[in-house]
A and B are shown apart, each in its own frame.
Chain A
C-alpha cells in the first residue's frame, strides 16, 4: 500500500509512514479525533493500537464498531493501552523502550495477518511528574525513523489547553505533518532525528506544563 489512506478525520488522507501531530482542545475534541481515526482503521481492517491517558477513554473506544460493523469489544483488531503499561512502564519513560513497544506491536500485527497498522498516542501522560518525560521531543523525533520503515500511520495527540507554546513549537519542528483545526500542515523542513539529536542531544522537555494536574 503506497497511496494515501483515509484518516477518518474530515477528508484528510495520510500516506503510509505518516507521523502526524494532532492538536486539539478538550476531551470532546480528542474523542472526536480518536473515534474518527480508529473507526476508519477498524473499517478498513487495519490493526489499531492506541495508548490513551484514562480508563474512561479506553472504555469509550471499546465500544467502537469493528471491521464488519460488529460491536466491540474486539478480538485482537484494536489494542487499547494505558500509559502505565507503555510510555511509563516501570515508572519512567525511556525512548528505546517505547520504540520497542511500537515495533514489536507492528511485527506482531504482521504475524497476525494485518497488512497495515494505525497507531495513536494521547500525549497528556507527559504532563506527569515522571522520570524521563524530558525526552519526549527526542522520542518524537526518533519515532520518525520507525514509521518510515513500516506500513503504518501514527497520530500523536496534544491537548492545547494543557501543553505550553514551547512544546507546541518543538513538536511542530519534529513532526513531518501537523493536524490542527481540521487542516493538515505539511512540514517538509521538519528536523529529522539525526539532525535533531545532533543539535540538541540533551534536549529537555521544552517547558513545564500549563496544568500540572495530570
Chain B
C-alpha cells in the first residue's frame, strides 16, 4: 500500500480523525530507512512497556521522556478532556496560556496549536476505549517531517490506549477493593450476629434452667472468657465464675459503694470501674445486684458488652423472681400469724403453714415483743426480732401487732437473752 499523507483544509477544525502516514521517500537512503525502522522497534518496546503499566503517571512520563530519543521534538504536556493539564519533563506546572481553550476546540481530531515561543506545535488525540481522553501536545523548534509526525501520532495513540487501560484497571481495582470491603463488613456483621445469637441462646438457657446466679456467672464467663462477679447492692459477693477469685472478697465502704451505684444508675450502660466493667441489675428503680466482668487488660469488645448487658437482664429477672418469692412468703407468714392470733380458720391456717414448710401442729406459744419507741419503724423492730430468733436458732412466725411484734413459736429459749439480743440490735 502506498503511504500517503492525508491532509485537511488549512484552518478547518473538523472532528474527523485524521491519520497521517509518512510520505514514501523518493529514494530513501539505506541508513535513514534503517534508522526509521530502528525507531519503530523502539516504539514497539515503548508500547509494550506502556501496556504492562497500570500507573497512569508512569505511562505519561514514559511517553514524554522517550521523545528525545525519537527525534528533535518534545512533549509539552497532556491536556485532558476534564481540563486537567499534565506537563511534560522540564515544563512548567500550568498549561500554556490559551492552550486549554484551543484543545477544547480541537475535539478528537487534533491539529496545530499556537504556543508562545514554539515555531511548531501540534496536539495529537489520546484515544481510549471510552473515546477521547485528551491530547498530547508536542512542540519543536522547526517544522517536523512527516516521518517524525507519524512517530508522535503512534506514541499518542499508544499512550491513549495505555492510559485508558490503566484507568479501567484502577476502576476495576477500586471496585474489587470496594467489594472486598463490603464482603469483610458483611462477614463481620454475620460473625457479630452469630455471636449475639450464641449469647442470647446461652443466657436464655440459663434463665429458664433455674441455675441461679452461679449459672449466670458461669455462662457469662464462658461467653467472654473473663472472670465474672455478681454482687448484691452492698458489695457482697453472691457468685463468681472463672479464675482468680479474691479471698477474702474486697468490700468497699458504704459511701463509696453508694457513689458507685449512683454513677451506674446515671450511666445505664456498662461502665468501667478500675479493672472491672460493671452494670446494674435493677429490674425496677431499686438496685438489686451488680454484674461485673473482670477485665484488667481492657480487651472487652462489643460482643462482650452485649453479653454483659444481656447477662444483667437475666440477672435482673432472677433477682426479681427471688424477691417475689421472698415477698410472697413474708406476706403469707404475716397473714398466717394474724389469723392464728384472731383464732379464725384453723384448717386453712394449717394448710398455709404447710405451704410455708412450717410445722404448725406442734404446741406453740405467742410472744409479744414491745418496742416502746426504741425502733423508728415497725419493720425495724420486726427485723430485729427475726434476727434475734435466727441467732437463737429458733423458728417461728412473725407479724407486726399494734405497734409491737407478735411471735408464734414452738421453740424453748432463754427469753431474757432474746430480749437483750433485740435491744442490742436496736442500739440498746
Chain A interface residues (CB < 8 Å from chain B): 23, 160, 164-170, 172-173, 178, 180-181, 183, 185, 187, 189-191, 195, 199, 206-207, 210
> How big is chain B's contact interface, by range?
20 to 34
Inter-subunit contact B67/A189 (CB<8 Å): no
> Which single residue of chain A is at the shortest CB-CB distance from B37?
A189
10 A-B residue contacts at CB 8 Å? A23-B49, A160-B49, A164-B61, A165-B46, A169-B39, A172-B41, A178-B45, A185-B45, A189-B38, A190-B41
Complex Cα spacing A187 to B39, Å: 10
Complex Cα spacing A167 to B67, Å: 10
Complex Cα spacing A23 to B53, Å: 13
> Which single residue of chain A is at the shortest CB-CB distance from B43?
A169
Count of CB-CB pairs between chains A and B under 8 Å: 83
SS class, residues of chain B in contact with chain A: helix
**A residues less than 8 Å from B37 (CB atoms):** 189
The answer to whether the Cβ of B168 comes within 8 Å of any Cβ in the partner chain is: no
Inter-subunit contact B44/A185 (CB<8 Å): yes
B38 contact from A160, A190, A207, Cβ within 8 A: A190
**Nearest CB of chain B from residue A207's CB, rounded to whole Å:** 6
Inter-subunit contact A165/B63 (CB<8 Å): yes
* A-B contacts besides A168-B45, A183-B48, A199-B31, 7 pairs, CB < 8 Å: A165-B66, A165-B69, A169-B45, A172-B42, A185-B45, A190-B38, A191-B38
Inter-subunit contact B66/A168 (CB<8 Å): yes
B34 contact from A165, A189, A206, Cβ within 8 A: A189
Inter-subunit contact A181/B63 (CB<8 Å): no
Inter-subunit contact A191/B67 (CB<8 Å): no
**B residues less than 8 Å from A23 (CB atoms):** 45, 49
Q: Mark B6-49, 1 if CB is under 8 A from A, else 0.
A: 00000000000000000000000001001101110110111011
> Which single residue of chain B is at the shortest CB-CB distance from A167?
B69
B35 contact from A160, A165, A180, A191, Cβ within 8 A: A191
**Nearest CB of chain B from residue A69's CB, rounded to whole Å:** 35
Inter-subunit contact B49/A168 (CB<8 Å): yes
**B residues less than 8 Å from A207 (CB atoms):** 65, 68-69, 89
**Nearest CB of chain A from residue B76's CB, rounded to whole Å:** 15
Inter-subunit contact B48/A165 (CB<8 Å): no
A169 contact from B31, B52, B66, Cβ within 8 A: B66
Give the 4 A-B CB pairs with smallest separation, nearest first.
Answer: A169-B69, A165-B66, A165-B65, A189-B37
Complex Cα spacing A169 to B64, Å: 12
B48 contact from A169, A180, A199, Cβ within 8 A: A180
**Nearest CB of chain B from residue A135's CB, rounded to whole Å:** 16
Inter-subunit contact B49/A173 (CB<8 Å): no
**Nearest CB of chain B from residue A170's CB, rounded to whole Å:** 5
Q: Mark B55-76, 1 if CB is under 8 A from A, else 0.
A: 0000001111111111000000
Chain B interface residues (CB < 8 Å from chain A): 31, 34-35, 37-39, 41-42, 44-46, 48-49, 52, 61-70, 89
Complex Cα spacing A210 to B67, Å: 15
Complex Cα spacing A187 to B66, Å: 18
**B residues less than 8 Å from A206 (CB atoms):** 68-69
Complex Cα spacing A191 to B31, Å: 9
**B residues less than 8 Å from A181 (CB atoms):** 48, 52
**A residues less than 8 Å from B68 (CB atoms):** 166, 206-207
Inter-subunit contact A165/B62 (CB<8 Å): yes
> Which single residue of chain A is at the shortest CB-CB distance from B68?
A166
Complex Cα spacing A166 to B44, Å: 14
**B residues less than 8 Å from A170 (CB atoms):** 42, 69
Inter-subunit contact B44/A173 (CB<8 Å): no
**Nearest CB of chain B from residue A66's CB, rounded to whole Å:** 34
**Nearest CB of chain B from residue A1's CB, rounded to whole Å:** 27
Chain B CB within 10 A, most for which of A166, A169, A173, A207: A169
Inter-subunit contact A166/B66 (CB<8 Å): yes
Chain A CB within 10 A, most for which of B44, B46, B69: B69
**Nearest CB of chain B from residue A179's CB, rounded to whole Å:** 10
**B residues less than 8 Å from A210 (CB atoms):** 61, 65
Inter-subunit contact A189/B41 (CB<8 Å): yes
Complex Cα spacing A57 to B70, Å: 34
Complex Cα spacing A204 to B254, Å: 90
**B residues less than 8 Å from A183 (CB atoms):** 48
> Which single residue of chain A is at the shortest CB-CB distance from B71?
A169
Complex Cα spacing A187 to B42, Å: 9
**A residues less than 8 Å from B44 (CB atoms):** 185
Inter-subunit contact B49/A185 (CB<8 Å): no
Inter-subunit contact B69/A173 (CB<8 Å): yes
Complex Cα spacing A185 to B43, Å: 12
Complex Cα spacing A157 to B301, Å: 53
With A170-B69, A191-B35 known to touch, is A165 a contact of B41 (CB < 8 Å)? no
Complex Cα spacing A183 to B45, Å: 10
A166 contact from B31, B38, B69, Cβ within 8 A: B69
With A23-B49, A181-B52, A210-B61 known to touch, is A168 a contact of B42 (CB < 8 Å)? yes
Complex Cα spacing A183 to B52, Å: 12
> Which single residue of chain A is at the shortest CB-CB distance from B64?
A165
Complex Cα spacing A167 to B287, Å: 81
Complex Cα spacing A187 to B69, Å: 16
**A residues less than 8 Å from B70 (CB atoms):** 169
With A23-B49, A178-B45, A190-B38 known to touch, is A165 a contact of B31 (CB < 8 Å)? no
